[in-house]
């Protein structure tokens, strides 16, 4: 089985010159989908990123240079979200990708049709790529779960269900925003200073980020049906970066017995370009269980999943502050990690989510949970970097951080690297904390 086709040819070049610059992240092998509007335009519309340009797919649909499934897929790119395209299914996404790849190649006869429909990426505003019906957040890094669990249960950090169930819970869809936004520090209740006392109330004092990837569901499943593990890829439209901002002090007081609520639902940030699973095919790697760990139950295990189930995606967290920006210092790199370190993989998340008949829909978003790695420097949250609030993180310009301060900007990056293959970027997800409204 090969996931590769002509769209992955690493030697392919585009007539969009900026797409051929080494490591620009958006070469013709990427072609991520997003929703944008040119500056001054009121209407968001679908587009793809190519080099430092955005191709207006809504306008291209008006010209309709394609035929067959590619043309049908392009027809679905005329609203203000990608939901219609997502709902068409994998053969349509793949046909459109192939048609766009051919049209954007050096020597394409369609250059004259497409070239007027390019807009500079620095001339557009990016929106949410989809109407997100339901948002589910998972918890698939055993390294994160162990590090956080240790703070609550030093002797028994990983609960008994962890290695059997891809633990997940429902999150809030309405407060998910695209990169570049800001939000006020959340306000809420915190644990009483002494047992039986009155809870605290006020602005969150332990505001944190969480480094995650987001998985956009394409075609869903009918209620009562399930998505088999080996069919799951065809239901995934693509991946983005996700920051699951977390108010640790609110969380500690509210989360028993039904899970996090106000500690998470005030804001989440995603990167605006969805990199398709097809674009990520060259970065598929085997998914292996450690010999000490139990094999997953049959509905979460297959030969195909073991051979191709994981993805090699590099992740980075940067922080800039009011002080660093005033000093024109570069944002500080806080940690690096990789998606391949996760205990569960994408197909397993879809198979598990639907095993009970729960229906997924086009545009649904699944979060991976914090993607911490096994080593120091690979922590996906401040709570891990600061060892449970005990050790402040030193920043290169002289400041320290236990938790986020007002006007701090957290910038998450993700990209795939492989020898002999152009870098595939997932872009960035950045957001800025504003003072609480009290």
Q: Which residues bind a copy of itself (CB under 8 A)?
A: 133-134, 136, 139, 149, 152, 159-161, 164-165, 167-175, 177, 183-184, 186-189, 192, 195-196, 198-199, 201, 204, 220, 223-226, 247, 250, 253-262, 265-267, 294, 297-299, 352-353, 355-361, 364, 434, 437
Least distance to a copy of itself from the beta carbon of 134, Å?
Answer: 5
Between 215 and 279, name the residue whose CB sits nearer to a copy of itself.
215
Least distance to a copy of itself from the beta carbon of 291, Å?
Answer: 17
CA nearest to 3, candidates 293, 242, 309: 309
Between 237 and 308, name the residue whose CB sits nearer to a copy of itself.
237
Beta strands 176-178; 268-270: pairing state: parallel
Least distance to a copy of itself from the beta carbon of 99, Å?
Answer: 31
Annotated active-site residue 144? The verdict is yes
Annotated active-site residue in 92, 143, 144, 352: 144
Least distance to a copy of itself from the beta carbon of 150, Å?
Answer: 13
Between 253 and 397, name the residue whose CB sits nearer to a copy of itself.
253
Inter-CA distances, 29 with 50, 280, 314, Å: 9, 9, 17
Between 296 and 427, name the residue whose CB sits nearer to a copy of itself.
296
Least distance to a copy of itself from the beta carbon of 92, Å?
Answer: 22
Between 268 and 271, name the residue whose CB sits nearer to a copy of itself.
268
Catalytic positions, please? 144
């Amino acid at each position: 089985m090969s996931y590769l086709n002509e769209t992955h040819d690493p030697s392919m070049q585009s007539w969009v010159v900026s797409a051929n610059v080494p490591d620009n992240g958006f070469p013709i092998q990427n072609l991520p989908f997003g929703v944008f509007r040119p500056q001054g335009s009121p209407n968001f519309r679908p587009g793809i990123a190519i080099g430092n340009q955005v191709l207006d797919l809504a306008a291209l649909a008006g010209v309709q240079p394609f035929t067959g499934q590619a043309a049908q897929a392009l027809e679905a790119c005329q609203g203000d979200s990608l939901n219609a395209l997502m709902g068409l299914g994998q053969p349509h996404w793949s046909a459109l990708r192939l048609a766009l790849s051919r049209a954007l190649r050096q020597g394409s006869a369609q250059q004259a049709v497409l070239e007027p429909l390019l807009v500079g990426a620095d001339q557009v505003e990016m929106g949410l790529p989809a109407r997100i019906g339901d948002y589910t957040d998972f918890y698939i890094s055993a390294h994160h779960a162990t590090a956080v669990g240790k703070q609550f249960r030093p002797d028994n950090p990983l609960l008994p269900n962890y290695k059997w169930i891809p633990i997940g819970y429902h999150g809030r869809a309405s407060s998910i925003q695209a990169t570049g936004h800001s939000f006020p520090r959340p306000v809420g209740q915190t644990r009483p200073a002494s047992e039986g006392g009155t809870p605290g109330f006020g602005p969150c004092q332990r505001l944190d980020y969480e480094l995650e990837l987001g998985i956009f569901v394409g075609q869903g499943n009918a209620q009562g049906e399930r998505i088999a593990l080996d069919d799951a890829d065809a239901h995934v439209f693509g991946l983005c970066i996700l920051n699951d901002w977390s108010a640790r002090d609110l969380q500690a007081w509210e989360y028993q017995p039904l899970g996090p609520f106000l500690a998470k639902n005030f804001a989440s940030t995603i990167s605006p370009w969805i990199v398709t699973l097809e674009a990520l095919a060259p970065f598929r790697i085997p998914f292996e269980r450690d010999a000490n760990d139990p094999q997953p139950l049959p509905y979460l295990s297959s030969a195909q999943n073991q051979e191709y189930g994981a993805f090699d995606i590099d992740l980075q967290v940067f922080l800039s502050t009011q002080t660093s920006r005033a000093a024109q210092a570069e944002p500080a790199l806080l940690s690096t990690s990789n998606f391949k370190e996760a205990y569960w993989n994408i197909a397993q998340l879809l198979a598990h989510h639907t095993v009970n008949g729960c229906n997924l829909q086009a545009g649904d978003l699944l979060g991976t949970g914090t993607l911490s790695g096994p080593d120091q420097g690979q922590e996906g949250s401040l709570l891990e970097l600061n060892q449970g609030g005990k050790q402040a993180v030193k920043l290169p310009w002289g400041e320290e951080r236990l938790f986020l301060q007002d006007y701090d900007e957290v910038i998450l990056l993700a990209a795939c690297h492989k020898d002999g293959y152009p870098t595939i970027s997932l872009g960035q997800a950045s957001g800025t904390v504003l003072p609480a409204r009290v």
